[in-house]
């Protein structure tokens, strides 16, 4: 049973489960885009059930007998749990870690217009795909080492040059206006090396991650200087924070 079938089965056993059909349809659209090697068009809404949604649904089913109500509560909890598995599913199935959508990438080009980009550790190249689709000069690089372990590097959306991050900076760092990294692993300190190299270059360092959380090493967050910038704030308005992971775009010095 695939992920969408699991969600649909969850709804099928809930009384009036069609109340939540829109959530499943949105997820279907997201998955369809990625299967077609396209970015989802729009940033994701919060998909797990809110407290008010849970309360409202339970109130509408107060007529159930005690055993039926208990089963409904259990089934609703399972549905909410399965909604929360979307991020893991997208990571495992598509190597889709940061929530890169068309409207997010477009906003980057609006606030950083007429600029060129270097993406480091690009994985399947979601960011570069979005930038290139908008006609932006973009160097997309990754040594594809993760391709041995999961779909990251195995389902490319755009051409990715096989270069590790430091080699890519040496080759292209002086040729671009912006260097961007999304979801650097939290147990590796390559991000610290990147930060040190970036401080010697005349380029913006843009990073998508979760501060002191799911991405980047602790030493990186200790050393990084996060710049307050109205452009970054504007871009983050269309970056998806749809579950418990609070990642966003940062300008780093």
Q: Would you state the pLDDT for residue 145?
A: 78
Mean pLDDT score of the chain: 95
Confidence of residue 209 (pLDDT cuts 50, 70, 90): very high
Q: Would you state the pLDDT for residue 151?
A: 67
- 154 vs 43 pLDDT, higher one: 43
Q: Would you state the pLDDT for residue 152?
A: 72
Q: Would you state the pLDDT for residue 150?
A: 63
pLDDT (average), residues 226-234: 98
Q: Would you state the pLDDT for residue 147?
A: 57
Measured CA to CA, the distance from residue 97 to residue 116 in angstroms comes to 23
Residue 121 buriedness (CB in 10 A; 0-12 / 13-18 / 19+): buried
Q: Decide if pLDDT at 14 tops 70.
A: yes
pLDDT tens for 59-103 read 999 999 999 999 999 999 999 999 999 999 999 999 999 999 999
Question: What ranges do the domains of the chain cover?
Answer: 3-36+49-83, 102-252
Q: Decide if pLDDT at 56 tops 70.
A: yes
Residue 62 buriedness (CB in 10 A; 0-12 / 13-18 / 19+): exposed
Q: Would you state the pLDDT for residue 4?
A: 97
Q: Would you state the pLDDT for residue 154?
A: 79
pTM: 0.94
Q: Decide if pLDDT at 125 tops 80.
A: yes
Q: Would you state the pLDDT for residue 12?
A: 97
Which class is domain 102-252? alpha beta
**CA atoms in the 13 A half-sphere facing the CB of 245:** 19
pLDDT tens for 127-167 read 999 999 999 999 999 998 775 666 676 789 999 999 999 99
Q: Would you state the pLDDT for residue 17?
A: 94
Q: Would you state the pLDDT for residue 149?
A: 61
DSSP the chain: --HHHHHHHHHHTSTTGGGGHHHHHHHHHHHHHHHTT---SSPPPP-SPPHHHHHHHHHTTTTS-HHHHHHHHHHHHHHHHHHTTHHHHHHHHH---S---HHHHHHHHHHSTT--EEEES-TTTHHHHHHHHTT--EEEB---GGGGTSSTTTS-SS--B---HHHHHHHHTTT-SEEEEE--BTT--HHHHHHHHHTTSSSEEEEEE-TTTTBS-HHHHHH--BPP-HHHHHHHTTS---SS---EEEEE-
Measured CA to CA, the distance from residue 25 to residue 23 in angstroms comes to 5
């Amino acid at each position: 049973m695939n992920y969408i079938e699991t969600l649909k089965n969850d709804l099928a056993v809930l009384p009036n489960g069609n109340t939540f059909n829109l959530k499943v349809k949105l997820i279907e659209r997201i998955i369809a885009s990625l299967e077609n090697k396209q970015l989802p068009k729009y940033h994701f809404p919060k998909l797990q059930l809110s407290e008010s949604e849970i309360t409202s649904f339970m109130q509408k089913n107060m007529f159930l007998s005690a055993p039926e109500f208990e089963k409904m509560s259990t089934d609703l909890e399972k549905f909410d749990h399965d909604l929360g598995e979307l991020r893991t599913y997208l990571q495992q199935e598509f190597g889709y870690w940061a929530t890169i959508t068309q409207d997010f990438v477009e906003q980057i080009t609006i606030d950083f217009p007429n600029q060129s980009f270097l993406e480091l550790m690009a994985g399947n190249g979601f960011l570069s795909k979005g930038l290139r689709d908008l006609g932006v000069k973009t160097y997309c690089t990754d040594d594809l080492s993760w391709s041995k372990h999961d779909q990251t590097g195995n389902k490319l959306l755009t051409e990715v040059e096989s270069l590790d991050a430091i080699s890519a900076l040496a080759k292209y760092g002086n040729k671009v206006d912006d260097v961007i990294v999304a979801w650097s692993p939290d147990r590796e300190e390559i991000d610290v090396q990147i930060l040190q190299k970036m401080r010697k270059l005349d380029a913006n360092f843009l990073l998508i991650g979760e501060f002191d959380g799911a991405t980047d090493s602790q030493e990186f967050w200790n050393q990084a200087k996060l710049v307050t910038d109205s452009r970054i704030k504007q871009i983050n308005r269309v970056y998806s924070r749809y579950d418990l992971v609070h990642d966003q775009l940062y300008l780093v010095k």
